[in-house]
Amino acid sequence: MRTVLYFAYGSNMLTTRLQARCPSARPAGVAFAQDHRLTFWKKGRDGSGKGHLTASPGAAQPGVLFTITVDDLIALDGFEGAGRGYRRADDFAIRLKDTNEIAQAATYIATDLDKTLQPYDWYLALILAGAREHAFDEKIVRDLSATACREDPDQTRASRHEALSLLRRQDH
């Protein structure tokens, strides 16, 4: 089956999270979105801020490059809300950390933005777990850790429980 490169910069950086959505996903290394930075301005269906790559000249947002099958990428469209707040960019330019090569990968760009949003604590924890799993620079992890977030007011939310379960598995 044909595979494509997918650039994850948010909660999908955590391999177990992405593999729960896309079983074919395999990490291929760390990469950077040149002239972009991570914000949480994408309006999530749950009312919180989700990851968004914002244009920011001179910045280089790290993320994780994965190979996934085309079928899994199509399935990921549903999880990411392609057409409902995100659009999939199939030719997004990234720079590979190990070789500095420029490559093209699929990623998701937010289309429904609200600069006042904050991520839920569990969503930010998924991103931090992914950054640690893939050995991001400690300064990047510290900066992410300093991101303002809020507690999810719905303690029964299914996505919250899924995230906490993944995080517990990651800790063991």
118: left (phi over 0), alpha (psi -120 to 50) or beta: beta
The predicted structure's pLDDT at residue 170: 80
> One-letter amino acid identity for 103?
A
Report the number of distinct structural domains present in the chain.
Answer: 1
Q: Which residues pair with 120 in a beta bridge?
A: 150
Q: Does the pLDDT at position 171 exceed 80?
A: no
Give the domain extent around 161: 3-171
Band of pLDDT at residue 87, cut at 50, 70 and 90: very high
Mean pLDDT of the chain: 95
Band of pLDDT at residue 83, cut at 50, 70 and 90: confident
Distance between CA 109 and CA 100 in Å, rounded?
A: 23
Instruction: Report whether 37 contacts 53 (CB < 8 A).
Output: yes
Query: Helix, strand, or coil here: 101?
Result: coil
The CATH number given to whatever domain includes residue 61 is: 3.10.490.10
What is the H or E stretch that residue 38 is in?
strand 26-43
Who wins on pLDDT, 45 or 172?
A: 45
> One-letter amino acid identity for 41?
W
Distance between CA 112 and CA 8 in Å, rounded?
A: 19
Helices 121-133 & 158-171, crossing angle to 10 degrees? 30
Query: Helix, strand, or coil here: 7?
Result: strand
What is the H or E stretch that residue 15 is in?
helix 15-21
pLDDT above 70 covers a percentage of the chain that reads: 99
Tokens of 128: 């931090």
